[in-house]
Structure formats: structure tokens, C-alpha cells
Amino acid sequence: MLENYAILPCNGLDKSAGVISGEIAKRLCESAENQTICPVFYRVSEKKYNRIAGEHPVLVIDGCQTRCATKLAAEKNLKISKKITITEEAKTHNVELSSNLRLLENDNALIEKILTALNQSEDKLPIIPAEPSVTYDFEYETYQHGKFIFRVPKNPEVYYNENDCWAYVIGNHARIGVTDFVQQNLSDILYFTPPEIGDEIDQFGEIGEIESSKSVFELISPFSGKVIAINSPLEQKPELLNENPYELGWVAEIELTDIEGDKELLIGFDQYLKIMKKKVEDLNG
Amino acid sequence: MSETTFMGVERNRIDWKPTIDYTKCDFCMECTTFCPHKVFEVRECEEMKLIVRNPDNCVVFCRACSKLCGPDALSFPDKNATTQRIKEIRKEESNA
Ligand code: SF4
Ligand code: SF4
């Protein structure tokens, strides 16, 4: 059961997804000890809600990908513990949202599904990270552009794709994460959505998402394989990604299915460094 | 590796770009404000106020702008098919 949360819905009044976000907040507060943060009042007066958000884990409910509630949470420096987006939930649950601003049957069905899933997610046992059996030692080359410093691991076991994700291969396992380029660009990372343990990922398939107030970055897996571990501390401390996206900020581990085939489409340190430098220069002049 | 190749393949041989669904787009311009690669072009005086002008500037496998699009109006080709196609082109080129 989802309880003792501070709930921040976007509460958008002109789209059904926004109306649904507000309805879910209401329902969560009716059925359990949760408190709603009104996004409109929060903009003009923050004392009360800063206190509530400081004392409780925060659930952010965005209606659509404009992410108004997430951006508000970022502006107010809130720590987001959980987050859903109604339009994404509608896709997951295969429900067509109505364009009507009054809740229709399909909207109510979706609300029930989301509430059930939210309550169940609370009852799930926490994932205990596996004891690391191997150590990943990184040796860095650094590149500075203006005030930004980018570390790039130069170990030969580390492979990159041109989408700024790395994989450190040991045996038939790889640990995966993003490079400094990604975390510098996103700036303060607010939220991490991990892949599921057991997910079968294609090469260049999505292996989690990280999000800041600026943007959402989809992690693109350098290798194909099955997810065997996720860095669960990141769910509560996504800022570890900003501190060091290679060490404490790694994202997932996979069991590789086609190491040699996949390597053909990957690059090593030298090439990645060149590509990254060019991207940094193009972006920052 | 020059700026017009991706994984050793000429960029213009890889079909990867956003497609705008004009029945959904509300021209909020979030996508073009966000994307630093000049993929989109704003055309204030025309009915289609936004077009995909430079598809080959789009970073292969990136879908970042679609994650910011409220009405979910942007779509991309299938990733797997694109990867397979890149592999085929590489093979053709190494055999050539
Ligand atoms: S973000 Fe979406 S709705 Fe806004 S202009 Fe781009 S395609 Fe259109
Ligand atoms: S997918 Fe990425 S590179 Fe392509 S247009 Fe969107 S933001 Fe720009």
C-alpha cells in the first residue's frame, strides 16, 4: 500500500491526462495517509509544501511528457522517490485516453490499474544488490572544456557506443552506464528508471532512463544480453550519476549474448574520446 | 571518423529521423528548442510551422525530443531494423 507519501500531481485542467493525475492524487489521499501538494498554490507559497515534501517521500504524477510536475519538483529542489506519467501508463496498460475532460469509463479503468500498480510496487521487497564478485578499476583520461571536466575511462575492457554509453566487459558479463558527457549535459539528475532484472535487451536497445529538469536520457545498451543486476542505490540517490557515472553511478549489469558480434559496432577509448570532444565543442562553441 | 559517418557507415545511408504526426503536434516547439543539431526548422508563416529539415543531422538511436513531446507526436524507425541495416551496409562495404 502506498502510504505516507507527499503527492505532487501536475493537475493539468485542460487535458484528460492532467485531470487523471489530479484524480489519482485525490484517491491516494482518500484511501491512505498521503498528502497532496497543489502545484498552483506551491508556486505562490512554498513553506507548507516544502515542509511536507521534506518529511515524506515524494510521488510525482505527470500527465504528459511536458513533465510540468517534475519540473516544479526540480525547481523546488525536491527529492523524487517515485514518479509516473499518465500518458506512458496508458500505453503500458493499453488504454486509450479520452479527449474528454470528464472522466469516462476507460479513464476510470486506467485509474484503477494505476492505483493497483502503485500500491503493489510498495509491497514489493526491496532488491538487495548482489555482493560484487569482481572489481571494476577505472583509469581515466580527462578532458577539460571551459569549466567542464570530462573523464573517459581508457581501460581496454571498456567499450563505447556513439550514444555516450559505456560497457566494462569482464568474461561474459558487462557493467553498463553513461559517460561524463551525458551527466554534464543533463546537469542535476533527479530520477533514475532502471530496467527490470531479467529483461532481454537488444544491442542499442533501451536499458533504463535518467532524467533531469532539462531532459530525459534513454540509455542505449552497447551490448545485447540479459539484465542480471541493477544499481538499486541510484533509485534513491540519482545524484551518484553526477558524482561519478562510472563507479558508484553505474546503471546495470548484463549477461552478454553475442560479445564478438556486438563489438563490431562499438568503439574503444581513442575513438570515443575524439567523438566526445567534437560533441562538446559543437555544443559549447 | 568524420561527422557524416555513424559506426563507419555514411550517415545518409542510415534512415533515422523523427517523423512529426501533424494530427497530434500542437507546435509547442519544445523539440526544436531542445535539439542542438538543427534537425527541425520552424516556419512561422506556413501551416506546418515545424518540419524535419535535416534528417541526417539526427543522432542515430537518439529519441530525446520525443520524450519531451507532450502530445506524443514524434516517432522513429524501429531500432532493431536500423541496427540490422547498419550491419548489412558494413558487410556490403567490406566485401566491396
Ligand atoms: S514537441 Fe511535439 S508537439 Fe511540440 S512542436 Fe515538437 S512535435 Fe510538435
Ligand atoms: S532524436 Fe535527438 S538528435 Fe534527433 S531530432 Fe530528436 S533530439 Fe535531435
pLDDT in tens, A31-61: 878 999 999 999 998 999 999 999 999 999 9
Q: Which chain A residues have any C-beta within 8 angstroms of a chain B C-beta?
A: 64-67, 87, 161-163, 202-205, 209, 215-218, 220, 264-265, 271, 274-275, 278, 282-283
If asked whether residues B66 and B43 sit together in one domain, one would say yes
Averaged pLDDT for residues A157-165: 96
What CATH number does the domain containing A271 carry?
A: 2.40.50.100
Amino acid A131: pLDDT = 54
The minimum CA-CA distance between B15 and chain A, rounded to whole Å, is 15
The preferred substitution site among B22, B27, B40 for testing ligand 1, maximizing ligand atoms within 8 Å of CB, is B27
| Model confidence pLDDT, tens digit, residues A108-155 | 999 999 999 998 887 765 555 555 567 888 999 999 999 999 999 999
Residues B48 and B89 in one domain: no
Question: pLDDT per residue over A195-248, tens digit each?
Answer: 999 999 999 999 999 999 888 999 999 999 999 999 989 988 999 999 999 999
Which tens digit of pLDDT belongs to each residue from B55-85? 999 999 999 999 999 999 999 999 999 999 9
Query: B23 and B59: one domain?
Result: yes
- Whether the predicted pLDDT of B16 surpasses 50: yes
Q: Is B51 helix (H, G, I), strand (E, B) or coil?
A: strand
pTM for this structure? 0.84
Range of the domain at B95: 1-16+77-96
How far apart (Å, rounded) are the C-alpha atoms in residues A223 and A225? 6
Q: Is residue A202 domain-shared with residue A230, that is, in the same domain?
A: yes
Based on the domain organization, do A235 and A165 belong to the same domain? yes
DSSP-based three-state secondary structure for A175: strand
> Which domain range does residue A90 map to?
6-120
Residue B2 pLDDT more than 60?
no
Are A140 and A152 in contact by the 8 Å Cβ rule? The answer is yes
Question: Which of A73, A90, A120 is where one domain is finished?
Answer: A120
How confident is the model over A64-92, as pLDDT tens digits? Answer: 999 999 999 999 989 898 999 999 999 99
- Cell matching residue A239: 545524484
The verdict on residue A1 lying in a domain is: no
Is any Cβ of chain A less than 8 angstroms from the Cβ of B24? Answer: no
Q: Measured from the CB, is residue B50 less than 6 Å from ligand 1?
A: yes
- Tell me how far apart the alpha carbons of residues A20 and A263 are, in angstroms, rounded to a whole number: 45
- Nearest ligand, CA B69: 1
| B39 and B25 belong to one structural domain | yes
Please, are residues A132 and A269 in contact by the beta-carbon 8 Å criterion? no
| Beta-bridge mates of residue A206 | A220
User: Rg of chain B over CA atoms, in angstroms?
Assistant: 15
Q: Which amino acid is at A264?
A: E
Ligand 2: residue of B37, B41, B61, B82 to mutate (most ligand atoms within 8 A of CB) is: B37
Same domain, B7 and B37: no
With 50 as the cut, is the pLDDT of residue A160 above it?
yes
Contact A90, B71 (CB under 8 A): no
pLDDT of residue A169: 95
Q: How far apart are CA B21 and CA B75, in angstroms?
A: 8
Instruction: Give B7's pLDDT tier (boundaries 50, 70, 90).
Output: confident
3-state SS assignment for residue A222: coil
SS3 (DSSP) at A13:
coil
- CATH code (residue B24): 3.30.70.20
Same domain, B51 and B85: no
Count structural domains, chain B: 2
What pLDDT, on a 0 to 100 scale, did the predictor assign at position A17?
Answer: 94
- Ligand 1 center from residue B26 Cα (angstroms): 6
Q: Are A241 and A249 in contact (CB under 8 A)?
A: yes
Would A255 be classed as within a structural domain?
yes
